[in-house]
Amino acid sequence: MTTTDSAQTGVAAANIGVVGLAVMGANLARNLASREGNTVAVFNRSPERTRTLVSEHPEAGFVPSETIADFAASLQRPRTAIIMVQAGAGTDAVIDQLTEVFEPGDIIVDGGNALFTDTIRREAAVRAKGLHFVGAGISGGEEGALNGPSIMPGGPAESYETLGPILESIAARAPEDGSPCVTHIGTDGAGHFVKMVHNGIEYADMQLIGEAYDLLRRVGGLSPEQIADVFTEWNKGELESYLIEITAEVLRQVDAETGKPFVDIILDRAGMKGTGTWTVQNALSLGIPVSGIGEAVFARGVSGRVEQREAVRPTITARPEPAKVDESFVEDVRRALYSSKVIAYAQGFDLILGGAEEYNWEINPGAVAKIWRAGCIIRARFLNRIAEAYDRNPRLQSLIADPYFAGEVAEGDAAWRRVVAIAAQSGVPAPAFGATLSYYDSLASDRLPAALIQGQRDFFGAHTYGRVDRPGVFHTNWSGDRNEVEQ
């Protein structure tokens, strides 16, 4: 392959194109090609990837190009191209190339994990050239890209009129009602914001599952294979989800070389590419507590600080024995996992709504829950319940203010506390279990020690405080007569 047939003949053969043919782009291109009526143009910076994809998948009928100009020439007008390249500089480079060869009215879709503020910037810059730019979060990994991901497009609503049917044709379908897992999330960066929060929730969910595994193993004394059976059982109930399902598979895996459980031969250092960190950074900027996600990001950070772990471990000699537990411990851990998971998702949805308010996006939280029911990494049965909760009350203050979730969490209350206490007694870290329970208790408390903090702030910095008994702003003259003055 040196150039496209269409470029040679001047006939634009493809109705959609994909730029970036690594894991996600190649599979998304194959997904698009498998749908009735689509002819897919493909382009990658390094032509070897394009050649490999085309030769391995002749059935897809791809229209390959080795230059961006040929790629543009191979697309019918108005052109639509989905970029699936490395977030950051790679995405900017491809957008620059496409805007050189595309024309007003053409649509550029960034399907990578872009930072939403980059998407806002890019949308404005591309719009200024008369083109449409849509930042679309895509989740589902390799398998989802191929068979049906969950797609979270932002950008102008008009673009969705053209793009929507194509995205709907390749998206996953919700098992409950067969609806496609894609919806127009909101303007400019809304889609990437929601994808960022999706990934943050993914971190929290994975960390909570990890903590449940660790407790079942170190306190419950179960083997990885027994825990795999426990997870398989849990996957038949309210915890049913992709992450629980794959956890059981990972735990059942045996290392071919050593015969040991696979989980025991993997280095315990969790990697991360950045979307979890972005979630927490933005939550901090917006003042929205996402402690479950935050602890999950920090836990990955702790795991990666190998030298520090090795320096400190020998200095901590007195370690507690694991608490004595009976068979009921497994059910307690299940309940704790479910309650903590509800809180983590509640915090994620709070952040989505906080972002919507800050950036003037009209995001429908129920619709977001619906498109996460299939295709994405956090797909789970209980997302249907979340969708129902927001359908019942779109102005819900918190997911746990919904009667269904309030009832669920209340039912697991005692078990949740036992598990967090047992983790602490046993010296098994459970930061996300603990943080989500504390958050719940904070919301449940009549009074918080924030009152004392206000007193401290006023003492050292004259930062003022409000009173419970009347409106106004007050300061106490701490260094003088200690009388109160109204500001």
The answer to whether 263 and 224 are in contact (CB under 8 A) is yes
348 forms part of the interface with ligand NDP (CB under 6 A): no
Q: Give least dist CB 451 to ligand 5RP, A.
A: 38
Residue at shortest CB range from ligand 5RP = 139
The answer to whether 138 and 28 are in contact (CB under 8 A) is yes
C-alpha torsion sign, points 418, 424, 428, 429:
positive
Q: Which of 242, 195, 188, 219 has the alpha carbon at shortest distance from 377?
A: 242
134 forms part of the interface with ligand NDP (CB under 6 A): no
Of positions 141, 164, 289, 304, contacts ligand 5RP by CB under 6 A: 141
Q: Give least dist CB 114 to ligand NDP, A.
A: 7
Distance CA 331, CA 349 (A): 27
Catalytic residue among 195, 211, 341, 408: 195
The answer to whether 402 and 205 are in contact (CB under 8 A) is no
* Residue 198 assigned to a binding site: yes
Annotated catalytic residue 195: yes
* Long-range CB pairs of 356-362, under 8 A, 24+ apart, other chains included: 356/186, 356/190, 358/286, 359/120, 359/186, 359/188, 359/189, 359/190, 359/193, 360/187, 361/154, 361/185, 361/186, 361/187, 361/190, 361/193, 362/186
**How many residues are there in the chain?**
487
- Partner interacting with residue 87 (select from ligand NDP, ligand 5RP, none; CB below 5-8 Å by kind): ligand NDP
272 forms part of the interface with ligand 5RP (CB under 6 A): yes
- Partner interacting with residue 25 (select from ligand NDP, ligand 5RP, none; CB below 5-8 Å by kind): ligand NDP
Place of tokens 């040991």: 260
339 forms part of the interface with ligand NDP (CB under 6 A): no
* Residue 463 assigned to a binding site: yes
Nearer Cβ to ligand NDP (139/291): 139
Q: Which of 323, 319, 341 has the alpha carbon at shortest distance from 220?
A: 323
Place of tokens 């269409």: 6
The span of 23-31, 127-135, 297-305, 417-425 binding ligand NDP (CB under 6 A) equals 23-31
25 forms part of the interface with ligand NDP (CB under 6 A): yes
377 forms part of the interface with ligand 5RP (CB under 6 A): yes
Beta strands 63-64 and 40-43, pairing class = parallel
Of positions 35, 129, 260, 273, contacts ligand 5RP by CB under 6 A: 273
DSSP designation for 184: -
The span of 63-71, 81-89, 182-190, 468-476 binding ligand NDP (CB under 6 A) equals 81-89
91 forms part of the interface with ligand 5RP (CB under 6 A): no
C-alpha torsion sign, points 30, 31, 34, 36:
negative
Of positions 3, 15, 76, 141, contacts ligand NDP by CB under 6 A: 141
Distance CA 41, CA 15 (A): 8
Those residues whose C-beta lies under 8 Å from the C-beta of residue 373, and which sit 6 or more positions away, are 174, 175, 176, 181, 379, 380, 383, 384, 387
- Partner interacting with residue 24 (select from ligand 5RP, ligand NDP, none; CB below 5-8 Å by kind): ligand NDP
Tokens of 119: 């998407």
* Residue 462 assigned to a binding site: no
DSSP designation for 362: -
- Partner interacting with residue 199 (select from ligand 5RP, ligand NDP, none; CB below 5-8 Å by kind): ligand 5RP
Distance in angstroms between the alpha carbons of the first and the last residue of the chain: 76
Annotated catalytic residue 341: no
4 forms part of the interface with ligand 5RP (CB under 6 A): no
- Partner interacting with residue 31 (select from ligand 5RP, ligand NDP, none; CB below 5-8 Å by kind): none
282 forms part of the interface with ligand 5RP (CB under 6 A): no
x-or-dash string of contact with ligand NDP, 34-63, rule CB under 6 A:
----------xxx--x--------------
Site residues for ligand 5RP, 160-219, by CB under 6 A, read 199
Q: Which of 84, 472, 405, 357 has the alpha carbon at shortest distance from 238?
A: 405
- How many residues belong to the site for ligand 5RP (CB under 6 A)? 10
- Partner interacting with residue 272 (select from ligand 5RP, ligand NDP, none; CB below 5-8 Å by kind): ligand 5RP
Q: Which residues of 174-208 are buried (b: 16+ CB within 10 A; e: fewer)?
A: beeeebbbbbbbbbbbbbbbbbbbbbbbbbbbbbb
Catalytic residue among 123, 142, 158, 202: 202
- In this structure, the dihedral spanned by the alpha carbons of residues 67, 72, 75 and 76, taken in order and rounded to 10 degrees, is -160
Q: Give least dist CB 140 to ligand 5RP, A.
A: 7
Catalytic residues: 195, 202
Q: Which residues are annotated as a binding site for substrate?
A: 113, 139-141, 198-199, 203, 273, 300, 457, 463
- Please give the residue ranges that form the binding site for ligand NDP (CB under 6 A): 20-25, 44-46, 49, 84-87, 89-90, 93-94, 112-113, 138-139, 141
Q: Which residues are annotated as a binding site for NADP(+)?
A: 20-25, 44-46, 85-87, 113
- Please give the residue ranges that form the binding site for ligand 5RP (CB under 6 A): 113, 139, 141, 199, 271-273, 275-276, 377
